[in-house]
Structure 1
């Protein structure tokens, strides 16, 4: 059987594909708009044609798919797109090879134990020479998600992904209450659409709520509403990331990724982010020693999948 495997990172906005021959090996990367294809099967077929690989039965030894939604019995319905994916059906399309289907943040979690200093950009706080314990990946993109990597002995790790974006989010200041009110979830505000909502609120109705996050952040130096949006986003992201560290005992650090997080880095109020991250009452001293990073290596979910062990479904 060939050692080449298809890896795919399927999000609500974009779907990414690549080929891997083993841990850390990634090639033939292609990115497609998720809305541009009617189904995952169609996107997969397009990818195989685009890389000129021919029928998958002749070269594909398996597939690892990370999808933006909760995986249940080998199937997933994307949270922010209409696609549903079945590991069994994908296997049939690929000639019966083994197909593993995981949550998209689980894929990033698989990468956490293998990240090097050159793959990371510190976000304020402290930097440790060696990270050996539990850590958490936090994604801000089309949606919001998180996954924890826990060492279970030697070089073995267990990865647990949840649906952190759907936790409740309440205001803690009068300003926050005026801007986004009550009855919100984390993903309502810390996401691509969330940035548009925050910006529209800060612009006092003078702007639509569908402005892209990168556009808002790029205008922060000249547009007061965009600057206030970036500052509030910094505080909210710090607060929620700190809460997730506390809830999962991820004392070896929080690692941010995703398109919105990447765009935010250029205008981040790092002081506000770290202040909110550390402001945890009796846990403040402990939180001040927990590092925070941005993952800057390209395609972290695809790279994480190259480290995945085979599984059914």
Structure 2
């Protein structure tokens, strides 16, 4: 019988589940995908119980769940949702033999070698050595700003190193960005890249720019903000430009510090919606401009991930990596 595993990708907005098995050449194949708003559930246990019940007799006995928060001894406090998840409690509540919890960006990063080229949009075609295996940076703005580095192991294996790079300090580079930084600093004290670049900080950035310009703030849904930006609304366009340029600036720093010559993959729903701004020359220059090290940056390929189910694939890959070592 083919072994299956229940996998999950739990972010600040949605909970995603699937059943995974190993397919051709060991690549994970997922099925029974379910996407549900996190707001529909009081806690994560209820969400996983609902999915397990929907599977009936197809429910696997083991699970690997990727969550948006640091993992410590089988516990996770989600960064952008008031949920505390405990692996042992899930095993008891859901009738599972084992539940392993990992950071969501560990799963996101591990998915990258498993996905076809059609799942990516090329933003910058670097000069990566043919057949070479170099570290890859995986990061980008969604509800938060996750970050991980994918390290090659041997001829075909991979190891993921996660961190909380999204909470590093935001680096303003223009007078408009400095004004935004000062406005946010007055209110929050510390201005992280996640605050400026991710979905969770959108209203705070919008409010700050409105205060700077002397304009009354009114909440605008993200889709409407993009529409207005394309129609020439100054504040909305500034928000899109600041977020796109700031993302590439932050990822350029991380790529330089981690030596990710294997490329940079930008992920997250916010990044997908900002694709037009991310590929603008002025935004890409933020990635390349590193003084005497600018030549080091140019050969690094930059891609935008377009696959919403990538972290489910990555969670499955992490599980089967462990199985192969047993």
* Corresponding residue of 1:44: 48
- Measure the CA separation in 2 of the matches of 1:230 and 1:108: 24
TM-score (norm 1): 0.90
SS in 1 for 2:319: coil
- Measure the CA separation in 2 of the matches of 1:294 and 1:185: 22
TM-score (norm 2): 0.87
After superposition, residues 1-313 of structure 1 pair within 5 angstroms as 3-22=3-22, 23-49=27-53, 51=54, 53-54=55-56, 59-126=59-126, 128=128, 130=131, 132-181=133-182, 182=185, 183-203=190-210, 204-206=213-215, 208=217, 210-222=219-231, 223-268=233-278, 270-309=280-319
Contact 1:19 1:29 in 2 (8 A): yes
SS in 2 for 1:289: coil
Q: CA deviation at 1:269?
A: 5.1
In structure 2, runs of 5+ residues without a counterpart are: none
SS in 1 for 2:56: coil
Displaced runs of 4 or more, over 4 A: 127-131
Q: Greater helix percent: which structure?
A: 2
Contact 1:17 1:29 in 2 (8 A): yes
Contact 2:52 2:59 in 1 (8 A): no
Q: CA deviation at 1:308?
A: 1.4
In structure 1, runs of 5+ residues without a counterpart are: none
Contact 1:234 1:268 in 2 (8 A): yes
For residues 226-271 of structure 1, what are the alpha-carbon distances to aligned partners after superposition, in whole Å with 9 as ceiling and x for unaligned? 1122122222111101011012111111101111111111444521
- Measure the CA separation in 1 of the matches of 2:121 and 2:30: 22
For residues 177-206 of structure 1, what are the alpha-carbon distances to aligned partners after superposition, in whole Å with 9 as ceiling and x for unaligned? 112324311111010133333333344353
Return 203-212 or 266-275, whichever deviates more: 203-212
Q: In the superposition, relative to structure 1, how do residues 246 and 270 fare at CA in structure 2: closer, same or farther (>3 Å)?
A: same
- Measure the CA separation in 1 of the matches of 2:218 and 2:151: 38
Contact 1:147 1:161 in 2 (8 A): yes
Return 295-304 or 109-118, whichever deviates more: 109-118
Q: In the superposition, relative to structure 1, how do residues 125 and 156 fare at CA in structure 2: closer, same or farther (>3 Å)?
A: closer
Q: CA deviation at 1:298?
A: 3.0
* Count of residue correspondences: 308
Q: CA deviation at 1:104?
A: 0.4
User: How big is the alpha-carbon RMSD for the aligned residues of Structure 1 and Structure 2?
Assistant: 2.2
Q: CA deviation at 1:127?
A: 6.4
Return 118-127 or 101-110, whichever deviates more: 118-127
